Amino acid sequence: MELIKSVIILVIGFVLLLKGADYFVEGSSSVARQLRIPSMIIGMTIVAMGTSLPETAVSVTASLVHNNELAVSNVVGSNIFNLMVVIGVCAMIATVEVARETIRRDIPLSLICAGLLLLLGTIGLGDQANMTLGHFDGVIFIGLFAGYIFYMIRIALKANKEGKKVEIEGGSDEEIKLISVPLSIVFIIGGAAAIAFGGDLTVDAASRIASDLGMTQTLIGLTIIAMGTSLPELVTSIVAARKDEVDMALGNVIGSNIFNILLVLGVAATISPVAFAWDNMIDIAVLIVISVITLIFAWTSKELNRREGIIMLILYAAYMVYICIR
């Protein structure tokens, strides 16, 4: 009975996280648009960061209650799920074209971020000992995140000035819904409250489920929590694949993975140091290997086809078996 109650609370937590993020982004985007901030900038900042708000809430909450295994595994598991399952399913439904910038810039950058996470998590810098992502490490991540956003905005503005097509999530005037300022404020405050409360419910329920089933916090973070927070990306990608509109799928997933490492763990570590376990290190190493495999697939044919999609899903299934028996 307690297990069923925990599962229901977990589902409620997920709903609050995801809907709260939607309302927060909608309210913030509307206010920014009324302040005459260019839609491209809104798409690359508020809308893009909105997709990482659920992961941020879970990792920050977990870090504050010293559930460090969940704080790290939530991000790493989400990134692995995005690469292997979201892209794998898309590639099975329709061929995923890979942009040159994704191969030359985005995937290598995501590899650097994962490598930096492994390095800082291993040696630690500043105020914390080894195997801990401390306050100073978190500040480094947030600084790199700010630099990444600034760099991407510069590239987008330059491309737009040259008359090139720039596709940004939520970045067109038509896609940004204008609502009244009072309602926008309600959306922002209500969305933020839902995200915070949803994060608390999710972490608490996940911990209880792990305890009831004899699972580790790392395992539940890599599976249930990671899948739950990444569900919107999977559903959106499947819908796009069925419409044969998956040109930006890999680029969006890689961008989301970079956000998850630099923003989510950066904020979590800045607020409260995040201790690493050896299993976390292994999982980050797996993420790096999977990213390299994705880069090889993308580099060889400039696309991801059904065969490669099947390989990705098989690799994910093998990884799931491994983390369940280790």
Residue 226 belongs to a domain with what CATH number?
Answer: 1.20.1420.30
Indicate the DSSP class of residue 171. Answer: -
Please provide residue 303's backbone torsions phi and psi, each rounded to the nearest 5 degrees: -160, 165
3-state DSSP call for residue 304? Answer: strand
Distances (CA, A) of 26 to 6, 31, 236, 268: 30, 9, 17, 24
| Residue with tokens 């996470």, as numbered in its chain | 117
**Distance, CA of 198 to CA of 192 (rounded, Å):** 10
Nearby residues of 152 by Cβ (< 8 Å), 6 or more positions away = 44
Strands (E), 54-192: 96-97, 132-133
Instruction: Give the other-Cβ count within 10 Å of 311's Cβ.
Output: 16
Task: Provide long-range contacts, Cβ within 8 A and 24+ apart, for 138-143.
Answer: 138/265, 138/266, 138/267, 138/268, 138/269, 138/270, 138/271, 139/266, 139/270, 140/266, 141/261, 141/262, 141/263, 141/265, 141/266, 141/269, 141/270, 142/262, 142/263, 142/266, 142/267, 142/270
> What is the value of pTM for the model shown?
0.85
Range of the domain at 298: 2-325
Give residue-wise pLDDT tens across range 111-164: 999 999 998 888 765 555 667 888 888 999 999 999 998 888 888 777 767 766
Indicate the DSSP class of residue 176. Answer: S
Yes or no: say if 264 and 52 are a contact pair by the CB < 8 Å rule: yes
Each residue's pLDDT tens digit in the chain (326 positions)?
Answer: 788 899 999 999 999 998 998 888 888 888 887 877 776 667 667 766 777 888 888 988 888 888 888 889 999 999 999 999 999 998 998 888 888 888 888 899 999 999 999 988 887 655 556 678 888 889 999 999 999 988 888 887 777 677 665 555 444 444 567 788 889 999 999 999 999 899 999 999 988 898 888 888 889 999 989 888 887 778 777 777 777 766 667 777 888 899 999 999 999 889 888 888 888 999 999 999 999 999 999 998 888 999 999 999 999 999 999 999 88
- When divided into structural domains, the chain yields a total of 1
**Distance, CA of 292 to CA of 108 (rounded, Å):** 9
**Distance, CA of 291 to CA of 40 (rounded, Å):** 28
Yes or no: say if 170 and 43 are a contact pair by the CB < 8 Å rule: yes
